[in-house]
A and B are shown apart, each in its own frame.
Chain A
Amino acid sequence: QKEVEQNSGPLSVPEGAIASLNCTYSDRGSQSFFWYRQYSGKSPELIMFIYSNGDKEDGRFTAQLNKASQYVSLLIRDSQPSDSATYLCAADSGGYQKVTFGIGTKLQVIP
């Protein structure tokens, strides 16, 4: 069973701080990794994807991938109350464009 593991949280950070969200995956064959944001009562939306070791930056968001450690992280700089949501980590899982999702980490940004 291919797994993606996340701490469900909640992770509470003060406004303006850096939020660090982490995820590990079990399938060494996974090549692509995704971070989805899901507001309460809404559907997931993709905010970052990464497929190379190292960092990928997009605005206030940085995704980090370490394939040797099977570890993916998402950093959110200058966190805002509007970043309060559940963040789902996902990894591709064996063809046909399937992905496996983690349970999500709930982030609370405190004003």
Chain B
Amino acid sequence: NAGVTQTPKFQVLKTGQSMTLQCAQDMNHNSMYWYRQDPGMGLRLIYYSASEGTTDKGEVPNGYNVSRLNKREFSLRLESAAPSQTSVYFCASSGIGTVNAYEQYFGPGTRLTVT
């Protein structure tokens, strides 16, 4: 049982390049989330998916797109990376099987630098 996995762990992009961050969970959770974490800003929600086939914007969605490919996988795409998107990105999941449905399990994070 791997929990929540994310790839890649580290990435350096040049301004304007695109990339997709991958996330998968094996806990049969309905809900999945993408956060970014910046110093002094805490965890900010980019997008979330309450169930397979649905996605919604969070607090900071500009410059990002997401795909809930199936119940297990939730990807985050940067179409044209900007230096302001330099951050640590965390994927999380919650739902069935947790003690509290709001309890979130986090992946190990992706450290992205945009130059």
Contact = CB atoms under 8 A, between A and B. Distances in A.
Contact of B100 (A32, A42, A96, A104): A32
A97 B107 contact: no
Interface stretch (B13-21, B39-47, B64-72): B39-47
A8 B45 CA distance: 19
A64 B56 CA distance: 32
A96 B51 CA distance: 9
B34 interface: no
Contact of B95 (A51, A97, A98, A103): A97
Interface residues on B, range: 20 to 34
B98 to A, nearest CB: 9
Contact of B103 (A43, A46, A96, A98): A46
Interface in B78-115: 90, 94-95, 99-109
Given A8-B40, A98-B45, A101-B43, A51 B100 contact: yes
A98 B40 contact: no
A88 B50 contact: no
B43 A98 contact: no
A97 B101 CA distance: 7
B40 to A, nearest CB: 6
A99 B58 CA distance: 11
Contact of A96 (B31, B44, B99): B31
B50 A97 contact: yes
A78 B104 CA distance: 27
A88 B42 contact: yes
26 contacts: A8-B40, A32-B102, A34-B102, A34-B103, A42-B108, A43-B90, A43-B109, A44-B90, A44-B106, A45-B106, A46-B103, A46-B105, A49-B100, A51-B100, A88-B42, A96-B31, A96-B48, A96-B50, A96-B56, A97-B50, A97-B94, A97-B102, A98-B48, A99-B104, A101-B43, A103-B42
Given A8-B40, A97-B30, 9 more contacts: A34-B103, A42-B108, A43-B109, A49-B102, A88-B42, A92-B102, A98-B45, A101-B42, A102-B42
